[in-house]
């Protein structure tokens, strides 16, 4: 991972963000880590410093566009930015999401990601290219939920679908400007966000394994990293079914109840 000398990660205080930060930590690397929980963020920073990395912590809410722009702008040259912060929630069976929950999930999962990615994109385009012609890399952590709209998490699926679509569509013109964009679409990862799930989670994997897969995909310059592959294939197939049929099938599955959980 030594190619990245300066990395910025939102949602770094737990789950995938925590695992990514630890995986990238090594001497000579500066990590800009953001999160909303000061104690958990400090614990991640301690782990990263123990591996020799320099760490700058930032209490950050990705819904604050001005704060995200300031963070990206004040970090100096950035080799890699990972928009990882997200929130997930379910709804009781047979009901609809309340308006406040819809807005909160879009604000974190879509607007929050863009609040970081857009200023990072602008900053990277102004950076001098490296020996490989790359000015910087940006990864957006979406989800396999982007491929299959499920009645139990409609806004989460919609927000992740929009984030994935924007990242994939922008990747081609961005590459021409020396910025590599990658949409990351993981399946079920063992994190606090999935801990409350009371239903089978096919392909469930640990966050450190997910981080390794993500970082390999980013390094390879892939436009999209979707895994596990067989769960991704199943989600893609399900998304091709007639909506009334897929909705009927998916509505039988137990949903994830509860209030939005932020990472």
d(CA 244, CA 238): 12
Q: Note the pLDDT of residue 92.
A: 58
1 pLDDT band (50/70/90 cuts)? very low
Segment 50-57 mean pLDDT: 98
pTM of structure: 0.92
Three-state DSSP class for 135?
A: coil
What are the chain's domains?
6-255 (3.40.50.720)
253 pLDDT band (50/70/90 cuts)? low
How much is the mean pLDDT over the chain?
91
Q: Note the pLDDT of residue 20.
A: 98
Q: Note the pLDDT of residue 254.
A: 55
The three-point CA angle 75-79-85 to 5° equals 70
Contact in structure between 61 and 85 (CB atoms under 8 Å): no
E-strand ranges in the chain read 6-9, 30-35, 54-59, 80-83, 87-88, 136-141, 179-186, 189-190, 205-206, 224-227, 261-262
Q: Note the pLDDT of residue 227.
A: 97
Least confident of 4-8, 17-21, 77-81, 95-99: 95-99
Three-state DSSP class for 82?
A: strand
d(CA 108, CA 96): 19
Contact in structure between 151 and 255 (CB atoms under 8 Å): yes
* DSSP element (H, E) containing 154: helix 154-176
Percent of residues, the chain, with pLDDT higher than 70: 92
Segment 151-160 mean pLDDT: 91
d(CA 37, CA 14): 9
Question: How far, rounded to the nearest angstrom, does the alpha carbon of residue 219 sit from its chain's CA centroid?
Answer: 16
Segment 17-46 mean pLDDT: 97
Q: What's the pLDDT tens digit per position in 172-186?
A: 999 999 999 999 999
Q: Residue 258 above 60 pLDDT?
A: no
Segment 22-27 mean pLDDT: 98
Question: How far, rounded to the nearest angstrom, does the alpha carbon of residue 34 sit from its chain's CA centroid?
Answer: 13
Q: Note the pLDDT of residue 180.
A: 98
Q: What's the pLDDT tens digit per position in 136-150?
A: 999 999 999 999 988
Residue ranges of the alpha helices (H) in 177-242?
207-219, 229-240
Three-state DSSP class for 24?
A: helix
Could you tell me the two tokens for 181? 């964009």
Beta bridge partners of residue 262, listed in sequence order: 87
Using CA atoms in the order 240, 147, 223, 81, what is the torsion angle rounded to 10 degrees?
Answer: 170
Q: What's the pLDDT tens digit per position in 65-94?
A: 999 999 999 999 999 999 999 988 766 555
Q: Residue 8 above 80 pLDDT?
A: yes
Buried b (16+ CB within 10 A) or exposed e, 226-250: bbbeebbebbeebeeeeeeebeeeb
Taking CA atoms, 108 is separated from 31, 63, 111, 183, 200, in Å, by 22, 6, 6, 16, 26
* DSSP element (H, E) containing 105: helix 99-106
């Amino acid at each position: 991972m030594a190619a990245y000398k300066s990395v910025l990660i939102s949602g770094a205080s737990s789950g995938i963000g925590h695992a990514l930060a630890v995986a990238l930590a090594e001497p000579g690397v500066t990590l800009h880590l953001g999160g909303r929980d000061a104690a958990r963020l400090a614990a991640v920073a301690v782990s990263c410093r123990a591996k020799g990395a320099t760490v700058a912590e930032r209490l950050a809410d990705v819904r604050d566009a001005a704060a995200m722009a300031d963070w990206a702008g004040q970090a100096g040259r950035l080799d890699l930015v990972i928009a990882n912060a997200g929130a997930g929630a379910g709804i009781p069976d047979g009901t609809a999401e309340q308006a406040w929950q819809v807005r909160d999930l879009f604000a974190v999962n879509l607007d929050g990601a863009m609040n970081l990615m857009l200023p990072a994109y602008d900053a990277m385009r102004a950076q001098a290219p490296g020996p490989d012609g790359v000015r910087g890399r940006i990864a957006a952590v979406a989800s396999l939920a982007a491929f299959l709209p499920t009645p139990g998490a409609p806004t989460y699926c919609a927000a992740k679908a929009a984030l994935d679509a924007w990242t994939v569509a922008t990747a081609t013109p961005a590459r021409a400007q020396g910025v590599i964009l990658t949409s990351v679409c993981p399946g079920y990862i063992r994190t606090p966000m999935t801990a409350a799930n009371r239903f089978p989670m096919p392909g469930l994997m640990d966050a450190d394994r997910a981080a390794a897969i993500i970082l390999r995909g980013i390094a390879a310059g892939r436009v999209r990293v979707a895994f596990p592959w067989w769960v991704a294939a199943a989600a893609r197939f399900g998304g091709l079914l007639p909506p009334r049929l897929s909705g009927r099938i998916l509505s039988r599955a137990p949903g994830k109840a509860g209030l939005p959980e932020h990472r």
